[in-house]
Structure 1
């Protein structure tokens, strides 16, 4: 049997698609008994593509793979324990781990939080909310967040922008609902901010902001927190948006493809930008500032690398439904 498994794994790399497909089907049909040997091919030897193919076969086994993967976590072989942990989380989220592993992950997060500075948030593309840092409890209440737990920033960014960040489930009445996962950053101090608020937090969550309308969420958040912003950087469509809400109402906004592009009266930083603009820039800033990153830098906090001395506390991961904790979301996260 071991020789036949090795031969089938090698067939995954041949040019003939029919042979590759037959090898994948044969390996998947072997079930849990082949997990140890398949895992060995994911941690050493072969190409990156081959290791990924073998791992996908193990994941395809689904729940049938879970008992053996947990055994490997408890008793080895040692070189397979790390990969077994990764695949367990990919298959079933943290809920798939036994109690010992869950405690170990929580302990690792606490250790990493002690020395994670400086931190970084995406800066080339994305959408995010910003709200006053001292209104965290109000933001959690306004957005209806649950299972709010401390995480490192690298973990939170991956959870909210790269991994699975929405989950369909059946509620107590049997209706299909959707829960989202979001990341709230540490507190960032921006001494350049022109307003009275210098310390801000950002909230990231692609599906949450897309499907529940980030503009509406900013207005609702500002009702509870006094002020909230929504920003979009979309280089794929060559568009940018920035939206400032205060006390539940739009104060000022810009959108590349909106009509009109600007709404509300120009803010002080925009007036200043026009005053200091050179001849070439004057036309660009005639109506206001169209640059979402520049607006964020002047009004709240611009994403990207954050200075350690301007970063306070840690980030938080949360979900939007009490019946769906973070542990239900699938996918291994960097810590």
Structure 2
């Protein structure tokens, strides 16, 4: 690495934003010559200015960097092979891997699936759909899902909530369409003693649920699966929603900013909460249960750390368009 390249890499960490930007510009101007130098920094796990700067340069190089990354995967140097795989996935997605690398990634996923118990589903924030696990085929048909691929839970949640989860593309007639990626969790058992054991799957997909109307998706699911729910936790706006649909129709819902907040008749678990409420809770539960996590706990399954004994099968990644497979979505996913 030349003295000039060394200086540019050091400047990626400078306190002055203008200095950092100038360093990025110089490294981008080097083209593929900068790839080998930046790879180890871009693939680091811990966040830092150096990592962010290296990632930014490689992102700006884009397709120009892909041939060199594939060459490193095939020919080395060996110390860069692992980093090259990560950056290849980030820049281009799995469709830019050669067949050997694709098979290796698939084998690794299957290995991780064997010992991923217990799994954890995010409980701090998010939005998800829930449906009976024994109606998985019906759910896939109802939502028009394609290219189902086995996925670990940590991998699937990252794909549907943190990584690229939507792609705009032009279909054969030239019209712009959007494809979404979603994650269907393993089947989780209900655990409340007074509720008959039933297995539920959750479907995660931020863009999918936001752009295609989670309430309408729940209705579509319940029309084919008998029952489906939508849950929303939005701590930023101090908002929660829960929505129950049966046989294609809304049964009961709550929304922090809805008017009225509750719609439909109270469900049995809400009546129990109201009857058991003490003086301090009487007003809180006067109309029903205003908490999405409580509703999920009683109606399906509450996100969080899922007991291994109550987890069945594995998760699935899927897309909403047959002509846009999972391999088109960019981003190296954790396993």
Do they superpose with TM above 0.5? yes
Superposed displacement of residue 161, structure 1:
0.8
Q: 1:102 to 1:293 in 2, by over 3 A?
A: same
Deviation by residue 1:219-273 (Cα, 9 ceiling, x = unmatched): 1100000000011111111111111000011111111111111111111111111
Output the CA distance in 2 between the equivalents of 1:63 and 1:193. 55
Q: 1:146 to 1:191 in 2, by over 3 A?
A: same
Q: 1:322 to 1:47 in 2, by over 3 A?
A: closer
Q: Which residue of 1 aligns with 2:298?
A: 298
Gaps of 5+ in 2: none
Secondary structure of 1:253's aligned partner: strand
Alpha-carbon separation, structure 2, partners of 1:224 and 1:195: 23
- Measured in 2, the distance between the counterparts of 1:300 and 1:157 equals 19
Answer whether contact 1:94 1:102 (CA < 8 A) is retained.
Answer: yes
Aligned pairs (5 A) from 1:1-335: 2-42=2-42, 48-192=48-192, 198-335=198-335
Q: State the alpha-carbon separation in 2 of the partners of residues 147 and 251 from structure 1.
A: 32
Alpha-carbon distance change, 193 to 333 in structure 1, aligned in 2, over 3 angstroms: farther
Structure 1 unaligned segments of length 5 or more: list them: none
SS at match of 2:288: coil
CA deviation map 1:91-149 (0-9, x unaligned): 11111111111111000000000000000111011111000010000000000000011
Assess, with a 3 A threshold, how the Cα gap between structure 1 residues 194 and 231 changes in structure 2: closer, same or farther.
Answer: farther
Cα pair distance change 1:216/1:17, threshold 3 Å: closer
Take 2:257 and 2:238, find their aligned partners in 1: how far apart are those partners? 10
> How many Å separate the matches in 2 of 1:165 and 1:332?
13
Question: Structure 2: how far apart are the matches of 1:34 and 1:286?
Answer: 64
- What's the Cα RMSD here? 1.7
What is the TM-score with the length of structure 2 in the denominator?
0.95
Q: 2: CA distance between counterparts of 1:176 and 1:108? A: 35
The aligned length equals 334
User: TM-score when scaled to structure 1?
Assistant: 0.95
Superposed CA offset, 1:141-166 (max 9, x none): 00000001110000000001111111
